Amino acid sequence: MIAAAPAIRGAGSGVEPLLRLTDVHAYIGESHILQGVSFGALPGRVTVLLGRNGAGKTTTLRTILGLLPAARGAIDFAGEAVVGVRPHALVRRGVGYVPEDRDVFGGLTVAENLRLAQRPGAPRDGIARVHALFPDLERRAGQRAGSLSGGQQQMVAIARALVNDNRLLLIDEPSKGLAPVVVTQMTDALAAIKGTTTILLVEQNLAVARALGDDAVVLDDGRVVFTGAMSEVAEDAALQARYLGAGARA
């Protein structure tokens, strides 16, 4: 289904989306990047945000988090409007963010990165939990994060989002720039937490998207052109060719 005016998935199904965007517009400088984006992320499911480079995927995540102001439209998280809520305040409501470039604090050790991410009141076993998921991080706890490999830094970035009991995870291209073997490790780790929390995942790698995604939203030039099941995207070669292009890796 390629929708000209996509419906918010979940609407009418009786299940309210945990996150809902309605006609969201956002600019970077003078450029009108998001041009009326509407979709919802259902609780407990992985919604994959797909699209070519420059379609507005990262901008969507940054706008949800408040790192970029929404010029128009509504964003609701857990039934509350969050446009204008400052990023740290939104995160404290239970949102974890894994940015595209990992953005680990290179001068801090792995343990310090995780300690910093652990919010006051977070579960005490949060760090033990991420160590169980990424045993390598426990072994490298005292190592400066800046000296880690790309894959290990990605583990730190994801682990930072998992040390708290977040209700929503915004994960931006976790497989970007990683060796295939590391991508597999990363996918396995994310699969292990699937179902325990709601995830909005930006992913160019179609194999990763297919392995993790329940629902899919396809963006093109800042507009939603498809919402549906991830399996529909995986099976629709025409949609892939038209909207995902060469950027999507099978």
Partner 1 sequence: MSTIVLLTLTGLALAAMYFLLAAGLSLIFGLMDVLNFAHGAFFTWGAYVAWWTVGRAADVLGPTGAFLLALVAATLAVAALAAAVEIGLLRPLYRRPIYQVLVTLGIGLALSQLTSVIWRPDARPFPQPDWLVATSTVFGARVPNNRFLLIAAALAVLGGLLLFLRRTRYGLIVRAGAENREMVQALGIDVDRAFTLVFALGGALAGLGGVFGAAYFGSINPNFGSVNLIFAFIVVVIGGLGSVTGSALAAVVIGLAQQFGNYYTSWAGDFVVVLLLAVVLLVRPRGLLGTLQ
Give me the residues that bind partner 1 (CB under 8 A), please. Answer: 65, 67, 86-89, 91-92, 97, 99, 103, 105-108, 112, 115-117, 119, 160, 164
**CB closer to partner 1 out of 33 and 225:** 33
How would you class 208 by CB atoms within 10 Å of its CB: exposed for 0-12, middle for 13-18, buried for 19 or more? buried
Residue 101 CB, nearest approach to partner 1 (Å): 10
Residue 153 CB, nearest approach to partner 1 (Å): 12
d(CA 172, CA 100): 5
**CB closer to partner 1 out of 14 and 107:** 107
Where residue 104 falls (left for φ over 0; alpha for ψ -120 to 50; beta otherwise) is: beta
**CB closer to partner 1 out of 134 and 226:** 134
Residue 206 CB, nearest approach to partner 1 (Å): 27
**CB closer to partner 1 out of 170 and 193:** 170
**CB closer to partner 1 out of 79 and 107:** 107
Asked whether 142 and 123 are in contact (CB, 8 A), the reply is no
d(CA 212, CA 215): 9
The DSSP bridge partners found for residue 25 are 35, 72
How would you class 98 by CB atoms within 10 Å of its CB: exposed for 0-12, middle for 13-18, buried for 19 or more? buried
Residue 124 CB, nearest approach to partner 1 (Å): 15
Residue 116 CB, nearest approach to partner 1 (Å): 5
Asked whether 98 and 91 are in contact (CB, 8 A), the reply is no
Q: Which string of b and e fits 1-35 if b means at least 16 CB within 10 Å?
A: eeeeebebbbeeeeeebbbbbeebbbbeeeeebbb
The residue type of 157 is A
Residue 18 CB, nearest approach to partner 1 (Å): 18
d(CA 194, CA 230): 15
Residue 117 CB, nearest approach to partner 1 (Å): 5
**CB closer to partner 1 out of 72 and 86:** 86
DSSP strand pairing (80-81 vs 70-77): antiparallel
**CB closer to partner 1 out of 36 and 87:** 87
